[in-house]
Structure formats: structure tokens, C-alpha cells
Structure 1
């Protein structure tokens, strides 16, 4: 599935947020330097935990093929708030949200392929195929999270029948689109902010485009464990269900048979 892509040198800024992910961040920075030197102009690394040590490789003056900007939070912020701040006010024409637990696979520049997809007419967001550590395709493409859809997926174990939103482990958007929709809704501290962003993009007429490129996303995060993440998840889901974007999506998008999102530019 991996396809060659011409290097894109007209500007991509990548936002990575670390929540004590030092080893993962080191590996990701090396991946970006090794595979994406032709596409990435700047990387913004946000240290979300107060006092979190920066990777030695992120020290001022370290040699990278891109500008590396380090930010430290005085207090932890939510997923969307961190990325919104990191991507605000930049000049690069494309923005990228990238999880620290992503690994970039050998081969052609994956972010160049995502930029190429994101620049096509009608596309609001490009995303890759996600694999787990064993090479199996992950279910990063999801249906609108109605109670019935969640029951089919979580309880019955059925695969998604449609693609209404994609997770935010790796996304590339034109800056003009990102700014037009206002980035992430920061009222979602964690979870569902990618659902909300996808729905607002599609309701505004932009397509979610799967690019012909693969990344590895093991998604082994401590944030999925414990009572607090469960509370955040339920709170975010409740907020989503009450949001105007969700109500409009049920009225306007749910009747559509979207199918797999593999047609670039298809709404």
C-alpha cells in the first residue's frame, strides 16, 4: 500500500504533545528526521507535565533537518488545547497533529503523501492507514457514535459499516481549513475532540481523505486506564451527544451511505 510521494517543501508544521512520553518522543523525532526531512518545516513539542524533562535530543542547538520548538506547560492542558496553541499563528500552509506513540515506517515520506492528499480540492483532512505493532490494520475509521453503533462495536464486536470520523493520532490539514473550523473544541478535555472535528469538517463540506500510506500506532497509553480517563470519556461523549454538530450529523450525514473513506475528495 505504501506509495512513493514527491518531497513537499512548501511547509508543514507538526504538533506533538508529550505527557511523560520521553522515550516515544525520542523515537518519533528520529523517525521524522529520517523519513520526513523533505516535508516538515517545523516541529512543536509540548511538554504537558510540569517539570517534565525534555529529551536530550530536543536541547537548543541540536541538529535537526527542521526547526524544533519546545514548549513547557505550567499546568497540564487537554489534548485539543495543546494542539490549538502549538499550531496557532504559524505561517506553514499545512498543519499536522501527531501522537507521540506513532512510529513512521521505512519507505517514502509518509507526511509528504498526507500533504499531497490534503491539498486536493475538497479535502479538509488527510489521514493514513494505521497498523498495530504486529502489522494489523487498526480501526481508526469509525461510524457516528450513536448508542446503537457503540453497542454493535463494543458489545457485539462488529466492524464499522461506515466512516463518519477518524481518530487524531495522525492528521494533516490545510491551515486555511484548520483555521476556518477553529481547530479542536477545547471543551473536550480528552476524548471525542477528534469526533467533533471530523463532524464539523464534513458538515462544512470538507472530505476526510485516506491517503495511500501506512503508519504504526500501537496506542498503548496509560490514559486509557483508571477511573479518571473513564470519567473524561463519558463526560466527553455526553457533551458530544448534546452538541449542535452531533445533532446536525445525525440529520445530514447519517442518512448517507459513506462507506470506506478511500475516495479522495468524496464528502
Structure 2
């Protein structure tokens, strides 16, 4: 049976905590926070910024931030999932948001209002926006289950993916009940595939992944395409995913459903 958003969540659609993890992204985080300060939906929200490595302090605007800003400074670097889990573990808000530091908010796009409205609907596990680059080109944030065959079609044959089995975690809003029910990110994934695993566990819980019509700018290039260490982590995470019970169960579920959550480019 799927999890349903409670009536309290419907009444508290503005109750949101946002987690941003910075690994030397100080300039981008500063820019992102200033953009978030212009978003009326976030006024009164709580924002947790985790510095995974030592960084200069962030500069508050004159008059302060319109949201509650909490800073966490790690004594030693932690994994992507571990950082977000720590930031969100005591969340009392109705909704939680995972937000990448290299995301930019577009003027006139009240993305958080749309995400909260979508996430508040019964049966929704997470809501996410469309991601575009600086030229407005849609980014491939929606993916098929990363089977070896699907990766071969994508990387070698350069074929486009048609299904949405999972979405990347650059910008996700989830009901706190759904986040808690699946246990947040699996910290066994230090980097890469934790978003695949999270989406699959939401799907297995009977919850939907819903794209809203709003956009964010996210043109970050995968570090695994440029650095051997990151490529190694990516491969390790893929092997861990393929061996996991979550992957096996989700693959059976998606086969039974005849596909993914939707189609690329669909509503």
C-alpha cells in the first residue's frame, strides 16, 4: 500500500527544510542562498548548509536572511547521503528538500511553490523540476533503470532514454513522511547511485516521482567523466546497486508495470 500525504501536510505546505551540501562550493552556495532569499515561498523556511570541507563564512544580506539558516561544519568529509541524512534527521517540517549547491533558480520561476504543491498530493514520494543548462537545453536528469543493457544503449549507442525510472537528486522535495518511511539515503553509497536507490525505494513503497512544470538551471558536469577517483566511486556504487535487493525488487516491479514512472518529455 502506498503512503498518503496527511491532512496536516496539506495544511502545512509552506513547512519546509532545505539541505545543501557544499564541498568547496562557497561561491555557488552564496549565490544560491541569495536567489533563495528572493523566493517568497522560502520565507520562514529552514535551510541547512553543510560544509563538507573548511570554507569561508557565508555573508548574510543587510537585514539578514528571510529563512532560518543553520551551518554545519564537518570535522572530516562525509558522503553525499550521510550529509543530507544528518541535516534532515530531526526534521519536524512537513517537507524536506535536497538541493545541489550548483543549482541556480531562474527569475520568475517559483519552483518551490510548485514542488510543495505536487509533493503534498496523495501517493507522491518526491517532486522535482525540469533541469536546463545555460542555453535552456533540457538536461538528462530523468533516467531509465541503469541496467548494463541500458547503460550500453546510452553510452555506446547514444540512444535516448524514453522512461523515467529515477531522477537525479539535484533538486528534490519529499513529504517528510515518505523520507522517513524509506529511511532517507542509503549511506552505503558514498557517492553516486544514492539517488537511484532512493527513487527505487520510493517506487517500491508505492509512491510516485512527479515532475512539475517549473525549471532550474543545473549544468554541472559529472566529475566521474573527468577524474579517475570519481569514476572509481561511480563503478563501485553501480556494482553495489546491481547486487542490492532493492535493485532486484525494483527491476521486477518495473517489468510488471511495463516501464517506468512516465516517459521523458511527458507531463
Give the conservation status (yes or no) of the 8 Å contact 1:209–1:262.
Answer: no
* 1:27 matched residue in structure 2: 31
Give the Å deviation of 1:161: 1.7
Q: 2:49 aligns with which of 33, 45, 50?
A: 45
**TM (normalized to structure 1)?**
0.90
Give the Å deviation of 1:262: 7.5
Q: 1:16 aligns with which of 16, 20, 25?
A: 20
Give the conservation status (yes or no) of the 8 Å contact 2:161–2:264.
Answer: no
Matched ranges for 1:152-167 at <5 A: 152-167=153-168
* Distance in structure 1 (CA, Å) of the matches to 2:37 and 2:110: 10
* Distance in structure 2 (CA, Å) of the matches to 1:240 and 1:87: 23
* 1:257 matched residue in structure 2: 259
**Structure 1, unpaired ranges of 5+:** 1-7
* Distance in structure 1 (CA, Å) of the matches to 2:265 and 2:136: 20
RMSD: 2.0
Matched, 1:128 2:129: yes
* Distance in structure 2 (CA, Å) of the matches to 1:12 and 1:89: 13
Does the residue aligned with 2:255 lie in a helix, a strand or coil? coil
* 1:230 matched residue in structure 2: 231
Q: Map Cα deviations across residues 43-86 of structure 1 (whole Å, 9 max, x no partner).
A: 0000001x32222339xx97011000000000000000000000
* 1:5 matched residue in structure 2: none
* Distance in structure 2 (CA, Å) of the matches to 1:263 and 1:185: 29
* Distance in structure 2 (CA, Å) of the matches to 1:14 and 1:175: 12
Give the Å deviation of 1:260: 1.6
* Distance in structure 2 (CA, Å) of the matches to 1:222 and 1:249: 27
Runs of 4 or more above 6 Å deviation: 261-264
Matched ranges for 1:65-76 at <5 A: 65-76=66-77
* Distance in structure 2 (CA, Å) of the matches to 1:17 and 1:33: 18
Give the conservation status (yes or no) of the 8 Å contact 2:20–2:100.
Answer: yes
**Structure 2, unpaired ranges of 5+:** 1-11
Give the conservation status (yes or no) of the 8 Å contact 2:13–2:116.
Answer: no
* Distance in structure 2 (CA, Å) of the matches to 1:206 and 1:76: 32
Q: 2:57 aligns with which of 54, 58, 74?
A: 54
* Distance in structure 2 (CA, Å) of the matches to 1:216 and 1:40: 24
* Distance in structure 1 (CA, Å) of the matches to 2:89 and 2:63: 24
